[in-house]
Amino acid sequence: MSTAAIPETQQPASLLRRVLLQGKYEALTMLRNGEQLILAVVLPLLALVGLTVTPFLDGMGSSRINVAVPGILALCAMSTAFTGQGIATGFDRRYGVLRFLSTTPLGRGGLIAGKVLSVLVVLCLQVVVVGLVALALGWQPTAAGWLPGLALLALGAAAFTSLGLLVAGTVRPEATLAITNLLWILLGAMGGIVIPAERLPAAAQAVVHFLPSGALGESMRAAFLGGAVNGGAALILLLWTVIAGAAAIRWFKWN
C-alpha cells in the first residue's frame, strides 16, 4: 500500500462525511482568519456596545439592549454568510481551489454544501458569543422568541450566502472584496438591520422593508421582542434566497 502498486478501485468517502469534512475545514479556515474574525465577532460586539450607550433605539422596546441584540445577530449572519463567505469564495475561485476541489470526490455540490455548513457553524458560535455578552449586559430575550428567531437567522444566512456566492462567482475577487465590504457597511448602517426602519430617513423606509437586511432585522426583532413571527419578512427572505440562489447557479463561473 505504501508503494505505487496497481491501485485497487478507489471509492469516495460517504457524501455525509465529505460534506462534514468540507464544512469543518472551511469553518476552521474562517475562524483562523483575523480579518474574518473582526468582521464576524469584533465589529458586531462593538456595534452592540455602541447601541446600548447611545439613545438611537430609545422608545423602540423594553430596553436598548433588548432592541439591539436581535439586529446584532442579524448583522452576524450578514458578516459571515455574505461578506465572509463571499470573499473566501472569490479568492478560492481566483486560485483555482474551486476547480481543484470539484475534481475530487467532493464535487461542486459537496463544495457548496460544505460552504453552507461552515456558515451555519460559524453563525452558531457567533450566536453563543454575542448572546453571552448580551446576557452579561442585561439582555432579556422573550423565551418564545428563540425558535422563530434561530429559524429566521438560518433563513437569513441562506439568503446572504446565495447573494455572497452570486457576487463571488461573477466578478473578480478584488471587486467581491469591495462590493461585499461596502454593502456590509451600507446595509449595516442604513439597511434596517440594526437600526429599525422607523429610525431611518423617510426616503429609505419604503425600500428597507424589501431588502434582505431589513427583512431579517425586522423579523428578528419581532421574534425576540414579542415572540411573533413576521410572515411577510420571512417571505421576502425566502424570495431573496430563491432568486439569488437561482442567479448564482445560472451565472457562477468556476474559473
Partner 1 sequence: MVRSPQSPALSIHGLIKDVGPLSSLDGKMLRVVSGVSLTAERGQVTALLGANGAGKTTTLECAQGLQKRTGGSISLLGQDPDTAGAGLRSRVGVMLQDGGLPPSARPIPLLRHIAGLYARPWPLEDLVGRLGIDTFSRTSVRRLSGGQKQRLALAAALIGRPEVLFLDEPSAGLDPQSRQLVFDLIAELRDGGMGIILTTHLMDDAQRLADYVYIIDGGRNVAEGTVQELLQRSPVTGQAGGHVRTLLFEAPAGLDLAAVLPDGVDVSEARAGSYAVTGALTPRHLSALAQWWEANGIMPASMSLEARSLEDVFLDISGKDIR
- Work out how close the CB of 77 gets to partner 1 at its nearest, in angstroms, rounded to a whole number: 24
In 104-230, alpha helices (H): 107-136, 146-168, 173-190, 202-208, 212-226
- Work out how close the CB of 252 gets to partner 1 at its nearest, in angstroms, rounded to a whole number: 14
Nearer to partner 1, 81 or 101 (CB): 101
Nearer to partner 1, 15 or 239 (CB): 15
- Work out how close the CB of 239 gets to partner 1 at its nearest, in angstroms, rounded to a whole number: 30
Q: Calculate the CA dihedral of residues 60, 64, 70, 72 and round it to 10 degrees.
A: 120
Nearer to partner 1, 1 or 202 (CB): 1
The answer to whether 142 and 227 have CB atoms below 8 angstroms apart is yes
DSSP label at residue 7: P
Nearer to partner 1, 31 or 207 (CB): 31
The answer to whether 223 and 243 have CB atoms below 8 angstroms apart is no
Q: What angle do CA 85, 72, 165 make, to 5 degrees?
A: 20
Residue 166 corresponds to which cell in the numbers above?
452570486
- Work out how close the CB of 164 gets to partner 1 at its nearest, in angstroms, rounded to a whole number: 17
- Work out how close the CB of 35 gets to partner 1 at its nearest, in angstroms, rounded to a whole number: 11
- Work out how close the CB of 85 gets to partner 1 at its nearest, in angstroms, rounded to a whole number: 14
Would residue 228 be called left, alpha or beta, if left means φ above 0 and alpha means ψ between -120 and 50 degrees?
Answer: beta
- Work out how close the CB of 4 gets to partner 1 at its nearest, in angstroms, rounded to a whole number: 4
**Rounded Cα distance, 141 and 154, in Å:** 18
Nearer to partner 1, 11 or 201 (CB): 11
DSSP label at residue 54: S
The answer to whether 85 and 161 have CB atoms below 8 angstroms apart is yes
Write out the residues near partner 1 by the rule CB under 8 A. 1-13, 15, 17-18, 21-22, 25, 29, 32-33, 91-92, 95-97, 99-107, 110, 254-255
What is the number of other CB atoms lying within 10 angstroms of the CB of residue 211?
Answer: 19
Nearer to partner 1, 18 or 115 (CB): 18
Residue for cell digits 431579517?
216
Nearer to partner 1, 113 or 134 (CB): 113
